[in-house]
Amino acid sequence: MVLCWPPTPAGESAQLPCPPVKGVDPSQMVYKRCDISGRWAGKTEGDFTRPQGYTNYIVCFTKPIQEVLRKLYNDSAEDAQTKLNIALGTRIMEIIGLSLSLASLCISLAIFFYFRSLKNNRTRIHRNLFVAMVIQVMIRLVLYIDQAIIRGHIVGYSATNTNTSRQGIDNTFPKIRITLNHYLFHWMIHV
């Protein structure tokens, strides 16, 4: 998370409301301390390795997110990184599986539409099911790939990247996706 901090006199702290992003409570305040030398203070006393200093955003997160973070970092930072790598690997496998499913569904639809003997009422529900599944798989692939790009996993791998300066589809699309999924399956059955 990134906030634009106002100029702050040396030796004092600045406060800003938490940013209005998913999983964050914007009613909370976050603080950053300006050292007596006039530079933003780091996580520990005398740490000036990062010019932007250190800001503890934990107070910004909602209680459920804080609980997840507590469980994630319960053991050590190395264990947490291993857990994040496993989650990333799982998502990559899911994207590969969805891509294979999409290819198989497209081949199946091509077979259904190519052979005239398969164009009858008995197979119509199967064609509709495959079309609905193709649309659903495409939506999920677009969402997952968008998440990977926004979080930087495709451009430059970093399991701890928390780039929120760009809004992805997953932040604006969930209700439309749920509605579309329900509609597709109702359409498949009733057409």
| Model confidence pLDDT, tens digit, residues 102-118 | 999 999 999 999 998 88
Residues 102 and 170 in one domain: yes
Residues 22 and 46 in one domain: yes
Residues 105 and 126 in one domain: yes
Residues 27 and 61 in one domain: yes
Residues 63 and 120 in one domain: no
For residue 150, tell me if it sits in a domain: yes
Give the domain extent around 53.
13-70
For residue 7, tell me if it sits in a domain: no
For residue 2, tell me if it sits in a domain: no
* Domain boundary pick from 43, 70, 97: 70
pLDDT tens-digit profile, the chain (191 residues): 567 888 888 888 888 898 888 888 889 998 888 888 888 888 887 777 887 888 888 888 888 888 888 887 787 778 888 888 888 889 899 999 999 999 999 999 999 999 988 888 888 888 888 998 998 899 889 888 887 777 665 544 444 444 444 555 555 566 666 677 667 666 666 65
Residues 45 and 60 in one domain: yes
Judge if pTM exceeds 0.75.
no
| Model confidence pLDDT, tens digit, residues 3-20 | 788 888 888 888 889 888
For residue 66, tell me if it sits in a domain: yes
Residues 46 and 92 in one domain: no
CATH code, 38: 4.10.1240.10
For residue 29, tell me if it sits in a domain: yes
Residues 97 and 171 in one domain: yes
Residues 63 and 119 in one domain: no
- Total count of domains within the chain: 2
For residue 185, tell me if it sits in a domain: yes
For residue 168, give Cα distances in angstroms to 43, 152, 171.
Answer: 30, 12, 6
For residue 128, tell me if it sits in a domain: yes
Residues 80 and 169 in one domain: yes
